[in-house]
């Protein structure tokens, strides 16, 4: 049975799950709700247990939260493994996954949305891509209301963006400190820690292998991207995508 992933194209949490599915070669269908309805969709699918996407339908279950989804995928198709066999390394990989989930992803979201929402065209392109069609026309009509909702939901204001920029650099500092001689965060092979760190630095960083990356960034995001891309951690994100971001197997 083909899995079904309810997702938002531009979201980095959703990219984390897409990457895990593609890495394991699990066929899946993509379902994309209209922007602005994703929370209602998640609540409906999970009977009120989750109000965020991604939601994965797998073997009769509907699973919310990217960390829980990857745990389920590890049981469903253990190989290629994302969890280390060694208990100590596994504990460290899961701790780093949680660190990136909680400390990096919300800051990327606040920073990127604050500046992107200032430009309606950039917002539509980020959410829907270069050919938005009828969804773009609908989104443009609802943009003023949707913008206020997104800002309130994600703390996407100037103060939040300034704090987020500082915290993102701190996360990059730690990532670079954690890297081993082999170029991975835990042990000598690709794990859930590497996948999570690389995926959640997008869409601020956007390696060419990253599906649905915004075609353009507004200022000052372009300057921040250039700064981070030049760092060891930024080069590492690009390398993880080049080495390990398998081609999408979505139907």
| Secondary structure (DSSP) of 63-74 | EESHHHHHHHHH
The count of other CB atoms within 10 Å of the CB of residue 46 is 17
Q: What is the largest CA-CA distance in the chain?
A: 53
Cα angle for residues 16, 21, 24 (degrees, 5° grid) = 125
Q: CA-to-CA distance for 49 and 42, rounded, in angstroms?
A: 8
pLDDT band at 60 (very low <50, low <70, confident <90, very high): very high
Measured CA distances, 147 to 114, 139, 141, 216 (Å): 9, 10, 11, 19
CA atoms within 13 A on the CB side of 217: 19
Cα angle for residues 197, 81, 184 (degrees, 5° grid) = 40
The domain ranges of the chain are 3-76, 87-244
What is the pLDDT at residue 228?
Answer: 98
Look at residue 251 and tell me whether its pLDDT is greater than 60.
no
pLDDT band at 24 (very low <50, low <70, confident <90, very high): very high
Per-residue model confidence as pLDDT tens digits over 101-158 = 999 999 999 999 999 988 877 777 777 666 667 766 676 776 666 667 777 777 779 9
Q: CA-to-CA distance for 94 and 85, rounded, in angstroms?
A: 12
Highest-pLDDT range among 31-35, 121-125, 159-163: 159-163
Domain 87-244, classified CATH 1.20.1050, yes or no: yes
Per-residue model confidence as pLDDT tens digits over 185-207 = 999 999 999 999 999 999 999 99
What is the pLDDT at residue 250?
Answer: 63
Per-residue model confidence as pLDDT tens digits over 207-250 = 999 998 887 899 999 999 999 999 999 999 999 999 999 888 76
CATH class, domain 3-76, is alpha beta
pLDDT band at 22 (very low <50, low <70, confident <90, very high): very high
Cα angle for residues 202, 207, 212 (degrees, 5° grid) = 65
* Helix intervals (H) in 54-211: 66-76, 87-99, 105-116, 120-128, 133-154, 158-178, 192-200
């Amino acid at each position: 049975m083909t899995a079904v992933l309810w997702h938002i194209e531009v979201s980095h949490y959703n990219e984390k799950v897409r990457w895990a599915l593609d890495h394991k070669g699990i066929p899946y269908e993509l379902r994309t709700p209209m922007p602005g309805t994703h929370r209602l969709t998640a609540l409906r699918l999970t009977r009120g247990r989750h109000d965020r996407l991604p939601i994965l339908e797998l073997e009769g279950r509907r699973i919310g939260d990217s960390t829980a989804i990857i745990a389920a995928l590890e049981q469903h198709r253990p190989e290629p493994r994302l969890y280390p066999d060694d208990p100590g390394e596994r504990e460290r990989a899961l701790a780093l996954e949680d660190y990136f989930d909680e400390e990096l992803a919300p800051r990327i979201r606040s920073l990127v949305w604050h500046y992107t929402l200032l430009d309606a065209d950039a917002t539509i392109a980020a959410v829907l891509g270069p050919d938005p069609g009828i969804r773009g026309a609908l989104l443009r009509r609802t943009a003023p209301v949707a913008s206020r909702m997104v800002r309130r939901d994600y703390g996407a204001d100037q103060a939040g963006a300034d704090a987020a920029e500082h915290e993102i650099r701190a996360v990059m500092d730690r990532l670079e400190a954690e890297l081993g001689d082999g170029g991975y965060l835990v042990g000598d092979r690709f794990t859930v820690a590497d996948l999570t760190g690389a995926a959640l630095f997008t869409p601020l960083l956007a390696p060419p292998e990253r599906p649905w990356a915004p075609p353009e960034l507004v200022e000052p995001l372009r300057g921040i991207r250039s700064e981070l891309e030049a760092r060891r951690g930024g080069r590492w994100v690009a390398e993880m995508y080049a080495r390990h971001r398998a081609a999408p197997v979505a139907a």
